Structure formats: C-alpha cells, structure tokens
Structure 1
C-alpha cells in the first residue's frame, strides 16, 4: 500500500516544502492512527473500516479533514462491522492535519521546547515527535483506551513519547515550555499556568467558540496573549465516558411549543454555528447554549436551548425571509443574539478576534479590545 505518496500530497496541500512541518506530514502514516472511523451518512453515523476498502481509506485519512473516531462512549475500534449510530455526539477525533499544524505554529515551538499535547488518536503527537524527537513530547488524554492504543500505534512507527492518562484540566505530569490543547476549555485551568515554565506558552480554544487563544506565562504566575485571527473549534474537555446533555429534557418540552414572547426578527434566519464570530460572542455573553436545526423543503427551524431553561424556536420559509421567533424561560436568548447582529451590522465587525487576553494566576480570563471586555472564570 503506497501511503507515502498520499502523505506527501497531504503535506504539499497543508504547508510549503521548506516548512519544518513538511517532513513530519510527509513521513507520518496517518492511516496507522485511524484504521476505523465514523462517517456521516444521510441520516446517521456509519462505521468506516479502512482495511476493508484500502482505496477509500487512503483517500479519507490523507485528506485535510477531521475524522470522528468516537461517538458518545462508542469507539470505532470496538464497533461491529456495519454499525450505525443515529444520535450520539462526537467525543474524540483525528483533527484535520492543517489545524494541528496551525495550533503548533501558534505555539511557536523551538527545537528544545518540552511540549505537552492532548492525545486523541495520537496522530498529532506523532507529528510533534517527528518534528522535535519523542523525548521532548508528553501526550495526555482522559480516556485510558485512547492513551493505550495511541501509545501502541506510536510505538509501531518507532515513536515513544511519554504517555499518561490525565484530565488536562487537572494536575499535569511535569513542567513544560509549551502546552497545546486540542480540546477546548471554558476558562484556562490554573494547573496549566503552574506547569508552564516562566515565558512558556499555551495554545487552546475556548469552548463553544471559534477562538484560538495564545498566551505567555508572566512572572506573577498569570499569562498575557491574544485571540488569534484564525477560527477553529475543538470538542470540549470531558471528565467521563460521554458529554452530559442537560438540555435533552427541555428539548422534548419546547421543540414545538409556543413561546411566552413571539416576535419577527429583522434579520434572516441564522444558525449561529455557521458564523464563527457571532457564535463566539454569543458564547461569551450567554455560555452553554446548545443549537439544533431542522426543517423540510424551504422551511427551516433553529432552536437555542440553555440548561437554565431558556429557549428559542425560530422558523423561516426561504433564506431571505425574516423568521418568526418564539422565546421562553428566564432569559431571552434571541434578544442577546439580535444585539450581537445589530453590532455587527453597525460596525462591520465584532471585537472577539484580535482581542487581548489576560489570565490571572488563579485562571480568571479577561478578553478586551478597545472599550469592550468580558471576564470568564
């Protein structure tokens, strides 16, 4: 199986030949780390078995795309041939290689940097080992299966970084020059600041947003940095087999309900996850919203659900028509969204990208740009 040709093509797509990441991309067998994955069918997730269709396997794993490897507690490694999964949420994946390299570039990794990275399938760890040498790399994940299997697959290609089962939001197994988290956090764990050497840098994304945050540790034990101009989203950190779904019960109650407030929006219907900057602002102002969408024909509906019981159902016919909006619960989430869209319409931009970042030693994070600021803890 000529995987090297596919890997070189992927490397050429992601970076220029003179990049220090070209060789790692061109010489790392991604198919070793993703032999099976979950692909999206018309109605449900379907198991894809690489060895059963080598041509499709090579095409999928050496494309610059994310491959979902775990749905809820169901890992593709353990699924029966022909398995499907209609409603579970992705809980682990092999991130698209271009984004992995983007995160590493934002980390500004030097040749002698000691780096902690999150494991997943182990492919990102392998790229880092190829770039630095495995002795400079620590790879952690909360899932013992992922750590074990990734370690075995890394060993099979001659790479032996330090591997540990570890909740990345808790105590970390060492001190580092760089921490690169390919899972997202609501606020920066204080343990990251404790594990970073002075001047060390972390790179992460904020949960529920498209924001990549980079920050350098300061002498007082905090950190300063910025929101990078690139947009990216990663799965949230989890502390067990699956994510909690606190809005499932609310969804059953309100998906066809009439709201306490009913109005007509001045803007066309927007599914917030389709607009990185709008979604990011909304998450900062009203964290924890879950979005759902549906519809038949030209009719489209968007739901916004919050664990505090707040909800929205907005329906429109056609892409330019103003939706009818039903809202209920203690907060009016659509009103928050409308204010963000008013600002975007008025100013032509939102302040989230390029914002300055300050993290106190206890992990309290403040974003600011001009007169705008928001604090997360």
Structure 2
C-alpha cells in the first residue's frame, strides 16, 4: 500500500513543519499498528478489517481520529470478520495523532530525554522512538496481550524500546526524565515522583475530566505545575482486563423511577461531556459520575449516575425548554450540576483551567486558582 503519502499528509495537518515531531508523524506507519478496529455504528460496535478494504483502512489510519481497538475484553485483532458488539466500553485505542503529539509537546521532551509512555496500540510509542531512538523509550501497559502485540509490531519496524507489562499506578521499572500518560489517573501516583529524575516532568490527564496536568519534580520529591489551557480526555486506568461498573446497580431505578425529588431546572438540558469545563468541575467535586443520554420520539433524556447510589434523570421535549429533573440517593447530582452552571454564569468562567498544581511526595495533589482549592 502507498501509505507514506498519507502519513506525510497527516503530518502536515497535525504538526507544523518545523516541529521535531513532524518527521515522526510523517514516517511512522499508523496502519501497521491498527490492522483492525471497532467502529461505533448506530449504537453498536462493528469490526473493521483493514485488509478487506485497503482504501478505507488508509483513510481511517491517517485521519486525525481515535480508533478503538478493544471494547471491554474484546480486542479487534482477536475478533472474527463480521463481529458486532451490541454494547461495551472502550478499553484501548489508538489515540488521535494530534493529541499524542500535544501530550508529548506538553512534556517538553529534549533530545536526550529518557521517557516513559503508555502502550495502547503502540503507535504513540513508535512516534517517541522515531523522535528519540528506541533506547530512550520505555512503554508500559497493564494488558499483557497489548504489550506483546505492540512489541511485535515495533520490532517489525526495527524499533526495540523497553516494553513492560505494568500497572502504571504501581512501581515503575526505572528512572525517567519524562513520564507521559495517555491514560487518566486520580490522584497522581506517588510512584511517578519516585521514578522521575530531578527536574523531570510528568504529563497526564485527571480521570473523568478534560484537564491536562503538567508538573515538574521539585527538590523535596514532590512536584509543581498547572492544569494546561488545553483539554483532553483519556480512558481511566484499569487494574485488570475491563472496567468495574459500580453504577449498574442504580441504573434500573434511574431509568424509570420518579425518585425522591422532582423539580424543574432553570437551565436548558445539558449533557455534561459536551461542556468539558462544567464536567471537569463536577468530577473534581463528585468523582466517579457516569453519564448517559437518549433521544427518542422527540424527547431528550440525560442521566447522571454515581457509585454511592445517587442518580439524576433530566428530560425535555423542547430544545430550550427547562427539563424536568428526577433525583434520588444520598446526593442531588443535578442540583450540584446547576450550582456549577450558576457559578459559570455569575463569574463568566470556571477555575479548572490554568489552576496551580502542587503534588506532595506522597502523591497528594491540590489544585488552586484564586480563592478556589480542591484536593484530589
């Protein structure tokens, strides 16, 4: 396949030509790392096999979009042609190239930096190898199968970075100048601080938010930094093959019950993942909320579900109509959401972006901006 012109086009679209990442994006064959992927089509996951349609394969691989490679425990490489999954949560992917590069640029990687990155499909690892050389790159993932696949595909390109099967929240296999995690965490693992060399930098996202956190190691073994004026969302870390679903126990009631309280919101219906600053603020204050939505027969409905048993359901038939809100459980989730929207309207913004970050050596992570403060 004539993939190189496609890679060069992608590099031109996502990286400025003077960037030292331009050559990496222009020369790494992304399709090599994503021969199969899951495509979301009308609420189901349909398997796509690159070799069955090479033109569509090249178009997908060299587009600036995320390709989901694993849904729950079902890896696309192990699925059979024609497979369709009725439901499921993405558990691994090849992140859109522009975002991988942005995360690396936030890390301020120097030519002599030794970096720890997360594996996934292996494409991000390949970009780091192309930029630095494989001897300066360590790549880890909690999933042995993913690490083996990525290691084989990297080796086929002549790249042999250190590949490790590790939980990134646990002990790390060396010392590094940079740690760049394309899975989200909360809080920052203390083991990252132990593995960072003096003056080293970590880059990650806070789980459940759109916040990119950067921090530089300080002399006391902690780190200081900020939440960037940029946004990104990654899958959360997971200890095993799939994610726990603690909100399922509350879903039946949330789907149909009147709840303990019924009210009318003053604001139009909002699906929080569509407003990253609002979602981030809510997640910082009430971590672990899961969001669902449905549009049926002209009625739009949004659910907020929390592991403690709290839930909220808001629905409306008109785009600008105030939704009717049903809530139950120990906390009123929609009331908290409206409180954050009140603050946004009153102050014209929320303090989540550009906040100062302080991390103690034990991993306690505090965000401050003006009078606002929260500890993860």
Alignment TM class, shorter chain as reference: over 0.9
Indicate the residue corresponding to 2:109 in structure 1: 109
Indicate the residue corresponding to 2:330 in structure 1: 330
- Provide the C-alpha distance between the structure 1 equivalents of 2:186 and 2:293, rounded to a whole number of angstroms: 24
Query: Which runs of 5 or more residues in structure 2 are unaligned?
Result: none
Indicate the residue corresponding to 2:287 in structure 1: 287
- Provide the C-alpha distance between the structure 1 equivalents of 2:311 and 2:113, rounded to a whole number of angstroms: 46
- Provide the C-alpha distance between the structure 2 equivalents of 1:128 and 1:119, rounded to a whole number of angstroms: 11
- Deviations along 1:257-290, one digit per CA (max 9) or x if unpaired, are 1021111000000000100000000000000001
- Provide the C-alpha distance between the structure 1 equivalents of 2:19 and 2:165, rounded to a whole number of angstroms: 32
- Deviations along 1:32-68, one digit per CA (max 9) or x if unpaired, are 0000000011130100000110000000000000000
Indicate the residue corresponding to 2:217 in structure 1: 217
Q: What is the alpha-carbon root mean square deviation over aligned residues?
A: 0.6
DSSP-derived class of the 2:282 partner: helix
Displaced runs of 4 or more, over 2 A: none
Pairing 1:341–2:353 present: no
Q: Is the 8 A contact 2:125 2:139 kept in 1?
A: yes
- Provide the C-alpha distance between the structure 2 equivalents of 1:373 and 1:359, rounded to a whole number of angstroms: 13
Indicate the residue corresponding to 1:232 in structure 2: 232
With normalisation by structure 1, the TM-score equals: 0.99
**How many residues are paired up?**
376
How far apart are 1:249 and its partner, in Å?
1.8
Indicate the residue corresponding to 1:201 in structure 2: 201
- Provide the C-alpha distance between the structure 2 equivalents of 1:238 and 1:318, rounded to a whole number of angstroms: 39
Query: Which runs of 5 or more residues in structure 1 are unaligned?
Result: none
How far apart are 1:319 and its partner, in Å?
1.4
- Provide the C-alpha distance between the structure 2 equivalents of 1:235 and 1:306, rounded to a whole number of angstroms: 18
- Deviations along 1:107-127, one digit per CA (max 9) or x if unpaired, are 000000000000000000000
Indicate the residue corresponding to 2:373 in structure 1: 373
DSSP-derived class of the 1:25 partner: helix
Indicate the residue corresponding to 1:70 in structure 2: 70
Pairing 1:98–2:98 present: yes
Indicate the residue corresponding to 1:306 in structure 2: 306
- Provide the C-alpha distance between the structure 1 equivalents of 2:249 and 2:50, rounded to a whole number of angstroms: 37
- Provide the C-alpha distance between the structure 2 equivalents of 1:17 and 1:331, rounded to a whole number of angstroms: 51
How far apart are 1:18 and its partner, in Å?
1.3
Pairing 1:361–2:368 present: no
- Provide the C-alpha distance between the structure 2 equivalents of 1:41 and 1:310, rounded to a whole number of angstroms: 31
DSSP-derived class of the 2:351 partner: coil
Indicate the residue corresponding to 2:276 in structure 1: 276
With normalisation by structure 2, the TM-score equals: 0.99
How far apart are 1:298 and its partner, in Å?
2.3
- Provide the C-alpha distance between the structure 1 equivalents of 2:373 and 2:58, rounded to a whole number of angstroms: 46
Summarize the alignment of residues 138-153 of structure 1 with structure 2, pairs less than 5 Å apart. Answer: 138-153=138-153
